[in-house]
Chains A and B, each alone.
Chain A
C-alpha cells in the first residue's frame, strides 16, 4: 500500500471523525439540560479552586518551614558519611518524573483508539491519521500544561533563592519536555525496537532534568519548545502508520486506567498499568514440578512460583529504596518529618508493587477454593512472598541507614520485622472491595465524613503504615529501644494473623 494512496483517503477519514463527533455531541446535548450543565461546571470549578488553594497553602507552609531551617539543623542522619549536593534531589525527582512519563506514555499509547473506534473506524479503508492525531495532540498538550503546573511546587521548594521568573521558566521547560517525551513515546509505538529512539528518549530525559533544574531560563524553555514541536511534526507524519493492534491495545489500557482513576480504585489502576508487563513464564518450573507434601505445601509453592514469574525484576522497589535514601542525604538536610514521610511513602509504594499475584487472584475468588485448606491458610500462603520480599527490602533499607549512621545495628532487625506486616498489608489491600460511592457520609462533630469510602480506600495502607510505625519511631529517636523491638514483633505478627483470618468478602 503506497503512502500516496493512504494520504488520498485522509479527507474521507476526517469526514468520518467529524461525523462521529457531531452525532455524539447532538446526542449528549439532547440528554443534558442547561441547569445540569451549570451545576456540573460550578461543582468542578469549586472543587478545583479548593484543591488549588489547599495545594498552594501547603506548599507555602512547607517553603516557610524550609526557609526557617538553619543549615546546622540535622535530619534523621546527624552526620552522614555521604552528602548529595542540594539540587541533586530536585534533579533526581525531575529525571524520575520524565522517565515515568516515557514509560507510562508508552503503556497508555499515547496514540490510541477506544473500543468502538477500533471496531468501526479502523476497519475502514482510509488513512488513520485524522482518527488518532487530534486526540493525541490534545493529550500531549494537556499533559504538558498539567506537568508545568505540577512542577511549580517542586521548583518553589527545591530552590528557595530562585526568582519567580526562574520558577516560571523551570515549570515551562519541564512542560515542554513532557510534550517532547510523549512525542517520543508515540514514535516508539510505530517502531518499538528502535534503538535510536530509545537512546534519544534516555538522552532527552537526562539532559532535560539537568537543564530544568540547573539552568532554567528563556533559552531552556525555547529549546524545549523547539524539540517538542519538531517531535510533534514527526509524530504527525507517522501517526497514520501505527499498527491498528497497537492503537487498540493502547486504547484498552488507557480506558482501563481512566476508569480506575475515576473510581479511585488503586487495585484496578495497578492491574491496568501492569497488564502488559513482562512475565517470566518459565521461571520456577523445576521447583514447581517437585513433589509436595500436603495441599498447603502445594498451594504455597504455586504462590511462590506465581510471584517469581509476575515480578521478573525488583527494579521499581530498588528505585524507591534509592529515592528514600537520597532524601536523607541532601546537603543541608530536609526537615525530619519530610524524611520520615519519604520512608513511609517509599515503604508503602514498594509493598504495593509486590501485590500483583494477590491482586490477580482477587479477581477470581474461586481460586481460593481450589485446594482443600482453610481459607485463612490460603490468605497466609498468598502473603508469604510479599512479606518475605518486604523483609528483605526493609532489612536492606535498615542496613543502609545503619551504615549512614541513623541508628544502631538493631535497626536492621526492627526493619526486617516490619516487612512481615507490610507484606501482609499488601494482601489486605489487594482484596479491597470496590468502594461504594453511593453510601451516605456519616455526621461527625467536624462535619459529614464519607467513612465507608475512606475505610475502603485505606484498606491495606492502614496496616502497612501501622507496621512501619515502630521503625519510624526508632529513626526519630535515633536509638533502638528493646521495647520498640518487641512492639514491632507483636504488631507485625498480629497484622499478619489478622490479614490471614479476615475474610475480605465476609
Chain B
C-alpha cells in the first residue's frame, strides 16, 4: 500500500478557537490509483491533500507513505521527500512569474542537483510531451490559462514523481480547457500508471478517477469504488 492514514485529525487555532479541518480520517491508497477527493469549500480536502504531499503534519494520527510515518519525519527529510516523490499541481498554477515556462519546469529539478544542461533537456522534453515545445521561452503571463496549467503539470511530471497531487487543477479554467486537462491527467494515468490524487469539487474532474472520497466537515462520509479497489471508510459523523 502506498498510503495508509489512521485516525488523522488536524486542528487549527483560529481567533482563539480550535477549528478541526480533519476529523479522524482513515483511508488507504495504492500505487497506480487515480483518486478523487471531493467536497465543498471548507470540507478539509486541501488539508488532506497537504497531509498526503508531506506539506503538513497531522495533529494526531499517522500518515504512512511506503510504510513510513510522515508525521515522525524531520522537516529536512520531508523536504527531501517532496523533492523526490511528489509532483504538485495547484489551482492557481503557482508558476514563478519572472521565469520562462522552461525555467519554471526546471525549478522542480533544482532539488535533484542536476547540471544546467541536464535540467534544460529534461524540462524541454516534459514541455514537448505536453505539447508546449514551442512555448518554453515564454513567460507565464504570455501563456493562456490552459497552457500555464500544462506548464505546471510538466513541472510536476518532469522528475517522474511517484505521486501527482493536484489541488483543484481546473478551478481557474474554462470548460473546454478543463476537459483538456482532465483528458491529460487521465492519459497520464492510463499510459504511465501514474498515481494521481486530485482534490476537486467538480464532478467532471472526479469522473475519470478509479476511486472517489467525499469529505464533509473534515470527515470522509462516503467512498465510491469506481474501480476494483478496497475502500476504507472513516467513521461517519453526525
Question: Are these two chains actual partners, yes or no?
Answer: no
Residues of A within 8 A of B (CB): none
